[in-house]
Structure 1
């Protein structure tokens, strides 16, 4: 296989597309820059066939519609490792959706591989030690260095062969149809980030729900200031101001530049360039009337249901026993969320079991009756 090449112009992109046309198998990966940038965006697309590897620069090649067409083409199998985030970004930024997938991470899970990360699999099957220097690289930066290109290419250069190895093992174990069903569901992966209230995330910060209402109001104003500035600069939020700084100011608000300058995490540059805006955010938080202060909405306590709990625990015991027999992690064989749905609905037969959204067809075939037997034996009032 030839070394990776950078495709960063419309003409070289067109040439690459001509080369891969008709290839039945393509390995694909993407690189974003969420450690550096505020907006989730694709800055590189790695593409490999069995014979070549290319690193595509979306900033230079023009329209990426041909990539969208390849992703959607059911006659071309697309190989990813942990496709979830890649598919979400393709959907968010371009509206691209994929069909005919193979995900080596999902395959590794159903083979009970001790390490399901790409690095672990490349080490096991190819003796390749992953280079970790660029795990948090700024892929939005240009120009890309040779070592960065090599690193990026390594994410797809072995994927086609790795797919062959894992697929053969799945077929041997009779689990390929299990994985095929999981992959069909993966095709429906979409971006789910909310845009309705872009700055409502302050409540999700660790420790926010423990604050008093005034501190929570201050945290909200500081959070909005940070997110608006981060969005404007397209810079990762923590690079503008860390959460610990926001909490410090929310719990111990300052009123002057001198006080602000003594806060740990507020450097001279931040004080000089952003100090007035930070103090203004604090003043807004302090000025909110008591009646309008935000408060933590408590989730109503779930009414205890001893019979449901008993069914769920019995289902878990059977699932755990089966996981040992199949030599799979319990959460791979049948996640707790699936068992919770079964325990809640109490289907009476295999057809009803298979109608549950959380239940897979292969699970019904493999151990559906065992789950129904548990429900039938569970005590009821």
Structure 2
């Protein structure tokens, strides 16, 4: 298939020397996140103008790749690169400059199926093997079939980039899409530390009273400690839904845990003792107070919650129609969170809309006038009609 397997420093230096003169570097990575408590960067696949390589990053230090990641003259190509970029930043303590993400580009061009396999099939009539998408890339040796799978994830990125960039330029969207790529550059590294309040964002926390939340907090924290000891992902120790069930009825959990759905013999024999201890601690702990959320923009004077909801609904209808007319996916224009921010502030001028947090100048240049017109139309439709004489 014409690629190099890199398993030592000397081979890596040769590959990077060849790649250094390339104007682009296609990148994908594989990890063991489904199989270990703290995932590791296990394999790095790269494709450049004159070399393709699969790097075994458990055998060789890949930090010499860092200068290329930081070099703004080399375009880094990804498909759905958000997690990859966070992982690279975490591993190398590096920046990743000059990014082009072909998945984002496909959404800006209106493709309904944006997975790499679908895009490669549509443009090159090639079927990608996705058999190893959830494989344990931390196991060694890596099979030949897995290596062949890995290199194909970068093999087609540059060709897709050429096609998509040409179409984006034709449609006048190359400048607008830079917003998305610059957001990827600003991504923070992954935080390896356990967040004791992270449970509050889980589905299982919904509807729990402060006592139930205190119990759920203890259950999540203790499960994390056990997962760390076992070197397994937390969800593979005990599932979130089972923890949520215990937190919804902690008194019953203390009496008889066997009545809960998911209380298998294995779960109770291996984990029942610490589950009971965690529930007990949660019942004795102070009631849980949720962390303060970041405050959104203040609504304009006279705004109310119902009015904001109606404006957001109107903006979503406008956004969806605009996306269809332009041949884009709706989230490529503005996501729902941003539409809700705009609806809350209810701007009436371009200056006012420019103060909406997170709304870039490029988006304002592209859609600001349409947004203001839609909001004005909504205001007029909500005005009480004068009684006819």
Task: Report the TM range for the smaller structure's normalisation.
Answer: 0.7 to 0.9
1:326 counterpart = 2:323: no
Q: For residues 362 and 38 of structure 1, do their structure 2 counterparts lie closer, same or farther at Cα, with a shift above 3 Å needed?
A: same
Report the equivalent of 2:277: 280
Question: Is the 2:26–2:154 contact (alpha carbons within 8 Å) kept by the matching residues of 1?
Answer: yes
Pairs aligned (count): 371
- Structure 1 match to 2:36: 37
Q: How does 1:91-130 map to 2 (within 5 A)?
A: 91-130=89-128
Q: CA deviation at 1:158?
A: 1.1
Corresponding residue for 1:203? Answer: 200
In structure 2, what is the Cα distance between the partners aligned to 1:24 and 1:78? Answer: 9
Distance change (3 Å), C-alpha of 1:10 and 1:370: same
| 8 Å contact from structure 1 (residues 260, 275) kept in 2 | no
Q: If the length of structure 2 is used for normalisation, what is the TM-score?
A: 0.82
Task: Give the secondary structure class of the aligned counterpart of 1:367.
Answer: helix
What is the aligned counterpart of 2:221 among 220, 224, 235?
224
1:180 to 178, 181, 188: 178
After superposition, what is the alpha-carbon deviation per residue over 1:140-187, rounded to whole angstroms, capped at 9, x for unaligned? 112211111111111101111111111122122222222223212321
SS of the residue 2:153 aligns to: coil
Query: What TM-score do the two structures reach when normalised by structure 1?
Result: 0.84
CA distance in structure 2 between the partners assigned to 1:132 and 1:3 by the alignment: 20
Q: Distance in 2 between matches of 1:27 and 1:330?
A: 27
Q: Distance in 2 between matches of 1:243 and 1:52?
A: 44
The answer to whether structure 1 residue 233 and structure 2 residue 233 are counterparts is no
| Contact 2:112-2:329 at 8 Å conserved across structures | no
Q: What is the aligned counterpart of 1:154 among 152, 155, 162?
A: 152
Mark the runs of 5 or more structure 1 residues left unpaired by the alignment: none
Aligned partners of 2:260 and 2:364: how far apart in 1? 62
Cα distance change, pair 305–280 in 1 and its aligned pair in 2 (3 A):
closer
1:1-381 correspondence to structure 2 within 5 Å: 2-62=1-61, 64-191=62-189, 193=191, 195=193, 198-211=195-208, 215-250=212-247, 251=249, 252-254=252-254, 264-268=262-266, 274-285=271-282, 288=284, 292-294=286-288, 304-305=304-305, 307-377=307-377, 378-379=379-380
Identify which range, 233-242 or 352-361, moves more after superposition: 352-361
Structure 2 spans left out of the alignment, 5+ residues: 384-389
